[in-house]
Structure 1
């Protein structure tokens, strides 16, 4: 489990079909490596990976072909990756619950700098991602916890407002129109949808439930408000 608050950047170096070496700068190494142990989980651009070896300024993780096929890992070695170690009991939860199980990918359509932030618009054609995108909802982009500022009703595009600190300290600064990103929807929304689709033991909720029917009145009727 992660929070979506990035601790630093690293670079990806494929060293085998199923292994990646993540190299960190000296500063980032000092933040991440001292508490890292074999078997720990690290979110690399939002993808939860298991540490199998620790080096002086890097660590090695397993990455199955399935993981690499369904994420952006290794697609653009010139772009640094965002890194976050797993959430520990008692730690502050400053973002939102992030599993590191990427739902799919999307790409940057445009990034516009304003006086107070960067407004970045992303596009996805993958239904398993789009269904969980809604205004003011949480979304994870390359492992970064962000809030949806605007989106279309289908969720196939959305805009986020990125504060200067986040833009400067993550790999969002390296993205250009067309750059691919990993996307993960809010896990709480997934569970709510699952419960409503399945219905109660008395079968009070129909199997033909649709996301569009999630209105405040519907949620109140079924005990969520």
Structure 2
């Protein structure tokens, strides 16, 4: 589990047998200070397990599904990757809950610099990913926790406003139109979607068959303040 607050940047180098080497770019103390074998580290939003520790980096093995679904298998631009260590018990949660399980890819459509921020727009061609794009909701873009400022009704387009500190400390500064990014929808929205599809189970599945709780539906959520 992660929070979408990037700690450092790294350089990704593909190796044989689906292995990847990530070399930290200074400063990287927050990543390397207490790294251990088996640790989870988000690399551009993809949760990977440390298999080898290097003096200033680490190696991991990525599954074929991970390479297919994310940008890690096509890092042809050689832009730096975002790095974040897994959430520790008691740590601050400054972004939102990010699992590191990327839903799919989006593409940069426009970058506009304003007086106080960078407005970056993305297209989301896959409807299975676009369904989790909602107004003012949270989204992970290359592992960065961002708030959706605007989006199309279907979610196939959205825009975020990026403040200078986020822009300067992540690989958003290297993005150009048509570049691919990793996208992860908010896990809370996925659970709500699942519950609205299945309800809370049939009466026979519940310990108290006489007073079953109401099924969770969109109407139920709206009535109880989740509008």
TM-score using structure 1 length: 0.91
Equivalences, count: 216
CA-CA distance at 1:86 after TM superposition: 0.1
Q: What's the secondary structure of 1:27's corresponding residue?
A: coil
Rounded Cα–Cα distance in structure 2 between residues aligned with 1:143 and 1:118: 18
1: CA distance, partners of 2:225 / 2:161: 32
Match of 1:53 in 2: 52
Within 2, Cα distance between the matches of 1:51 and 1:205? 42
Q: Does 1:64 align with 2:66?
A: no
- Give the corresponding residue for 1:39: 38
Greater CA drift, 197-206 or 134-143: 197-206
Indicate if the aligned counterparts of 2:11 and 2:25 stay in contact, CA closer than 8 A. Answer: no
Deviations 1:119-145 (A, max 9, x none): 000001112211111110000000000
- How much does 1:223 deviate? 8.0
| Distance in 1, Cα, partners of 2:141 & 2:112 | 17
Structure index of larger Rg? 2
**SS in structure 2 opposite 1:98?**
coil
- TM alignment of 1:173-192, pairs within 5 A: 173-192=173-192
Give the match for residue 93 of structure 2: 93
State whether residues 133 and 155 of structure 2, in contact with CA within 8 Å, keep that contact through their aligned partners in structure 1.
Answer: yes
Q: Give, in angstroms, the shift of residue 196 of structure 1.
A: 1.1
Give secondary structure in 2 for the equivalent of 1:94: coil
Tell me which residue corresponds to 1:160: 160
1:13 touches 1:77 (CA, 8 Å); kept in 2?
A: no
Deviates more, 1:65-74 or 1:98-107: 65-74
Secondary structure of the structure 1 residue equivalent to 2:21: strand
Runs of at least 4 residues of structure 1 off by over 2 A? 200-206, 220-225
SS of corresponding position for 1:147: strand
Q: Secondary structure at the match of 2:194?
A: helix
8 A contact 1:12–1:77 mirrored in 2: no
Change (3 A) 1:31 1:200: closer
Deviations 1:85-134 (A, max 9, x none): 00000000000000000000010000100011000000011122111111
Please, which runs of 5 or more residues in structure 1 have no aligned partner? Answer: none
Contact 1:17 1:65 (8 Å CA) reproduced = no
> 1:220 offset after TM fit, Å?
4.0
Displacement, 1:31? 2.0
Q: TM-score, normalised by structure 2?
A: 0.90
In the aligned structure 1, how far is the partner of 2:178 from the partner of 2:13?
22
For residues 116-155 of structure 1, the aligned pairs below 5 Å read 116-155=116-155
Structure 2, unmatched stretches of 5+, are: 204-213
